Chain A
Amino acid sequence: MLFEALTLQLGYNATLVAIGATLLGVSAGITGTFLFLRKRALVSDAVSHATLPGVCLAFLLMASFGGDGRNLLGLLIGSAVSSAIGLWCLNWLTRNTRLAEDAAIGAVLSVFFGFGIVLLTVIQTLGMGRQAGLEGFLLGSTAGMLWSDAMVIAAGGGLTLILILLLRRPMTLVAFDPEYAAARGVPVHLTDMAIMGLVMAVTVVGLKIVGLILIVALLIIPAVTARFWTERSEHVVLLAGLAGGVAAYLGAAISASAPNLPTGPIIVLVSFALFLVSLLLAPGRGVLAAVLRHRRFQRRVHLRQGLLALAQGQPIYEKLTLRLLRRAGLVRADGVATDQGKARAAKALRDERRWEIVRGDQTHEAAAALYDGLRDIETVLTRDQIAEVDSMIGGPQGVAV
């Protein structure tokens, strides 16, 4: 069943949903990246909640003029207008009052959503029997999606992608370093507005599939996921688009494969699974990589301290140190150094003394700055320089390494 869903053989509606969701996932992932890099991820939460009154008002307006209140395009235009108003309120509050952005986000989110709910109950009490579709915008509802709905979503997703392609240079610049962007002559404020406009577009397009509460996840999670894998902005953008697309596609397929699996939540959960894998396994920034790095560092410190202790004839009690030394063949089981151990220990002690000289000498200032107690001196100084240092130390030379 799942295989059929993945290969788009589960019927007309499921295929429509899967394609629409994938397009949406890609554009949401990419747009969300700019938002995330700009450190304004939660603005999307305010934008998405602010769509509700617009949807309701558009419905009321269309119904009162005798049209079909559920025309998707009309509802989406209404939602875009009200989320734009919400965004304007948000910007006004942060710019003209002492409120921080997070408070403004919360205020806009709750008030617009509350007002939307008032309007929802108005629609219910007006006895408009066919309002059932509107609750679907809270959590998304893909069952019974029409061809025209799918076209609106696909066109919206495609349009968003084209806009992103056109605006990617200034948006990347602004997301990373607004001051530098301003100095280069990029209109920062306009670019910010463009990013927000794209967020709005993604939100509006996504209303039907994932609903206004969960669209935030599609904007935030792929970007955070992608950030684990790379330090380069172009790659983050591409990976976020990929993660968003994959999550949306898989989610839509899984939800089509069995009953009672709502599309929106499944997409979010798949997306979170990708995030979790990245958090744990990503090279560099992942948790596993950090643990391994820590262990490697720990081993180096213990080995180094163990060698110095051997060289100075001090007994070693630390179990980990002893184990590491034994495994490297530097001490015997009873804790006495082997020949190789003695040689390495003497070298370690000599290196320590070399570092001491280097750090005491103004002319080696640059090299001395690299001292961290673990670095091999050969990686910092040339052989001639080491020989020079050794001549300052004097004493026996030529210990076998």
Chain B
Amino acid sequence: MSGEEFVPLSLTPMLIGVFAAIACALPGNFLLLRRQALIGDAISHVVLPGIVVAFLLTGAIAAWPMMLGAAGAAIVAVVLIEAIRRLGRIEPGAAMGVVFTTMFAGGVLLLEQTDTSTVHLDVEHALYGNLESLIWLDATGWSSLLYVQALMHLPVELPRIFLTLIGVSIFIGLFWRALKISTFDEGFARTQGIPVNALGMALVITAAIAAVAAFDAVGSIIVIAMFICPPAAARMMSNRLEGQVAWSVFFATLSAVLGYVLAGYGPLWLGAYDAVSAAGMIATVSGLILAVAAKFGPCRSRTGAPQAA
């Protein structure tokens, strides 16, 4: 495929997909090890009421209010889960189930009650996003990457998700040691003077920010898949946290690229005419990667020791 076609139509969606996948997979590694993997699931459900409320307040589909609304909803959800868990002495899984289903139901109800027929805001869009539409029409080929004028018209999602990725990376890089210690041995981390609770909260908030930014670009289904599948597959590949994170970044990139290509061109190869959902395909590919890793990964067994070669 030539650059003239690839750059405007496929380069930006693919990059956005890759950045979103990595931004979710990085905090996902720690959430997985802390047995909080389903936080991503909960957050991606509660984002819906957040954006609907933001839409009702501002009356327009604008990026920043919606992201603020989504982030607000995510924080409300985390606080509610914690409150219900403590007040009602309910196990965390059930508390989470109560909160995110209720908030999602509230979002759907609000959406049905308001007249959103004039704007593009519906549940399906929230679920599986619209990665394919994030094209860069001003590009004419690889050379466009050098023109400031053309670069000005990049889809706004691209710089946004890129900045989010940088932010997430900086957070994890800065607190790497503290995160690592508190994830594996909370008691020891406490004796070292690491603020364990604050750090845990910061991790969840970072994950929420990544989820909201990725959601804006690619819909919630990728968010859940990328929080869990690449880190889970990476867990089968390495016993060291460094190795796991590196593998998860690799797997996330692989799923995003492969998923996008398969969704865009797979049906053409099979003789069909139209592409299928890229978001769904990326999630599917990440699942296939996990399946292969779970079957053949060197560190897949529970004892943790690498299998004899």
- Residues of A whose CB lies within 8 Å of any CB of B are 36, 39-42, 44-45, 92-93, 96-100, 102-107, 109-118, 120-122, 125-126, 135, 138-139, 213-214, 216-217, 220-221, 223-224, 227-228, 260-262, 264-266, 268-269, 272, 275, 279, 285, 287, 290
Query: Quick check: B105 and A114 within 8 Å, CB to CB?
Result: no
User: Which one, A135, A266, A279, contacts B88 given CB within 8 A?
Assistant: A279
Given A105-B37, A117-B221, A217-B102, list of 11 further CB < 8 A pairs?
A97-B294, A98-B235, A98-B236, A111-B229, A117-B283, A122-B276, A217-B101, A227-B90, A260-B113, A268-B105, A272-B102
Q: Known contacts A97-B300, A264-B108: does B232 contact A103 (CB below 8 Å)? A: yes
15 contacts between A and B (CB under 8 A): A42-B93, A96-B300, A97-B301, A102-B35, A102-B38, A106-B38, A110-B221, A112-B287, A117-B279, A120-B280, A139-B123, A264-B105, A265-B104, A275-B98, A279-B88
In the bound complex, what is the Cα–Cα distance between A287 and B88 (angstroms)?
7
What residue in chain A is nearest B263 (Cβ atoms)?
A: A118
What residue in chain A is nearest B101 (Cβ atoms)?
A: A217
- Nearest CB in chain B: distance from A290 CB, A: 8
Query: Quick check: A111 and B41 within 8 Å, CB to CB?
Result: no
Contact with A along B254-288 (1 / 0, CB 8 A): 00000000010001000011111101111110110
* Residues on A with beta carbons closer than 8 Å to the beta carbon of B98: 217, 220-221, 224, 272, 275
User: Which one, A103, A217, A228, A287, contacts B228 given CB within 8 A?
Assistant: A103
Query: Quick check: A217 and B97 within 8 Å, CB to CB?
Result: yes
In the bound complex, what is the Cα–Cα distance between A266 and B95 (angstroms)?
19
* Residues on B with beta carbons closer than 8 Å to the beta carbon of A117: 127-128, 221, 277, 279-280, 283
In the bound complex, what is the Cα–Cα distance between A99 and B94 (angstroms)?
20
In the bound complex, what is the Cα–Cα distance between A279 and B95 (angstroms)?
12
Which of A107, A109, A135 has its CB near the most chain B CB atoms (within 10 A)? A107
* Residues on B with beta carbons closer than 8 Å to the beta carbon of A272: 98, 102, 105
Q: Known contacts A115-B287, A125-B276: does B112 contact A110 (CB below 8 Å)? A: no
What residue in chain B is nearest A219 (Cβ atoms)?
A: B97
- Nearest CB in chain A: distance from B173 CB, A: 24
* Residues on A with beta carbons closer than 8 Å to the beta carbon of B112: 260-262, 265
Interface of B is mostly: helix
Query: Quick check: A107 and B97 within 8 Å, CB to CB?
Result: no
Query: Quick check: B105 and A214 within 8 Å, CB to CB?
Result: yes
Which 6 pairs across A and B sit closest by C-beta, in order of nearness? A114-B283, A111-B287, A117-B280, A217-B101, A125-B274, A110-B225
Which of A100, A111, A135, A262 has its CB near the most chain B CB atoms (within 10 A)? A111
Query: Quick check: B41 and A109 within 8 Å, CB to CB?
Result: yes
Contact with A along B281-309 (1 / 0, CB 8 A): 11110110010001001011110100000
Chain B interface, number of residues (Cβ within 8 angstroms):
67
User: Which one, A113, A262, A285, contacts B221 given CB within 8 A?
Assistant: A113
Which of B87, B93, B275 has its CB near the most chain A CB atoms (within 10 A)? B93
What residue in chain A is nearest B110 (Cβ atoms)?
A: A265
In the bound complex, what is the Cα–Cα distance between A114 and B274 (angstroms)?
18
Which of A99, A104, A114, A272 has its CB near the most chain B CB atoms (within 10 A)? A114
In the bound complex, what is the Cα–Cα distance between A253 and B222 (angstroms)?
36
- Nearest CB in chain A: distance from B90 CB, A: 6
Query: Quick check: B90 and A111 within 8 Å, CB to CB?
Result: no
In the bound complex, what is the Cα–Cα distance between A42 and B236 (angstroms)?
23
In the bound complex, what is the Cα–Cα distance between A135 and B101 (angstroms)?
18
- Nearest CB in chain A: distance from B123 CB, A: 6
Let me know if B63 is at the binding interface, CB within 8 A. Answer: no
* Residues on B with beta carbons closer than 8 Å to the beta carbon of A221: 97-98, 101-102
Query: Quick check: A262 and B277 within 8 Å, CB to CB?
Result: no
Query: Quick check: A42 and B273 within 8 Å, CB to CB?
Result: no
Query: Quick check: A115 and B280 within 8 Å, CB to CB?
Result: yes
Query: Quick check: A41 and B109 within 8 Å, CB to CB?
Result: no
User: Which one, A105, A138, A279, contacts B38 given CB within 8 A?
Assistant: A105
Let me know if B106 is at the binding interface, CB within 8 A. Answer: yes
Query: Quick check: A97 and B280 within 8 Å, CB to CB?
Result: no
Let me know if B32 is at the binding interface, CB within 8 A. Answer: yes
User: Which one, B106, B227, B277, contacts A118 given CB within 8 A?
Assistant: B277
Let me know if B46 is at the binding interface, CB within 8 A. Answer: no
Query: Quick check: A261 and B109 within 8 Å, CB to CB?
Result: yes
Q: Known contacts A41-B93, A103-B32: does B294 contact A110 (CB below 8 Å)? A: no
Query: Quick check: B109 and A111 within 8 Å, CB to CB?
Result: no
What residue in chain A is nearest B223 (Cβ atoms)?
A: A110
User: Which one, A97, A106, A285, contacts B227 given CB within 8 A?
Assistant: A106
In the bound complex, what is the Cα–Cα distance between A269 and B113 (angstroms)?
15
Query: Quick check: A114 and B279 within 8 Å, CB to CB?
Result: yes
Q: Which of B203-252 contact A (CB under 8 A)?
A: 221-222, 224-225, 227-229, 232, 235-236
In the bound complex, what is the Cα–Cα distance between A269 and B104 (angstroms)?
10
- Nearest CB in chain B: distance from A107 CB, A: 5
Let me know if B89 is at the binding interface, CB within 8 A. Answer: yes
